[in-house]
């Protein structure tokens, strides 16, 4: 259940980043890893069965804190 929830959140966020990049690439560029976020979302959705749980959890632990800070900064400026 936990894995499905985490993957769903990455799916939603990756899709939102895809749309943001199309609408306002300058704002999307303020998220340092936005192309990788989109690629990770695609990997999770299209290769779900082949994705190692340790990879997903590593992204949660190492990349998510920076992502949260960057998104908060973008939202503060809007």
pLDDT in tens, 1-53: 788 899 899 999 999 999 999 999 999 999 999 999 999 999 999 987 788 88
Q: Tell me the CA distances in angstroms from 62 to 20, 26, 42, 49, 55, one per residue in order.
A: 23, 25, 19, 22, 10
Instruction: Give residue limits of the domains in the chain.
Output: 2-77
pLDDT given at position 3: 80
pLDDT given at position 65: 94
Instruction: Give dist(CA 77, CA 66) in Å, integer.
Output: 17
**pLDDT tops 90 at residue 73:** yes
pLDDT given at position 50: 83
Q: Tell me the CA distances in angstroms from 47 to 7, 10, 33, 44, 70, one per residue in order.
A: 12, 14, 20, 5, 27
pLDDT given at position 43: 92
CA angle 12, 22, 64 (to 5 degrees): 40
Mean pLDDT of 63-70: 95
């Amino acid at each position: 259940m936990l894995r499905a929830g985490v993957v769903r959140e990455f799916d939603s966020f990756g899709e939102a980043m895809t749309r943001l990049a199309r609408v306002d690439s300058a704002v999307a560029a303020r998220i340092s890893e936005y192309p990788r976020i989109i690629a990770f979302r695609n990997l999770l959705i299209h290769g779900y069965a082949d994705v190692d749980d340790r990879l997903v959890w590593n992204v949660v632990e190492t990349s998510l804190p920076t992502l949260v800070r960057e998104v908060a900064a973008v939202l503060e400026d809007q």
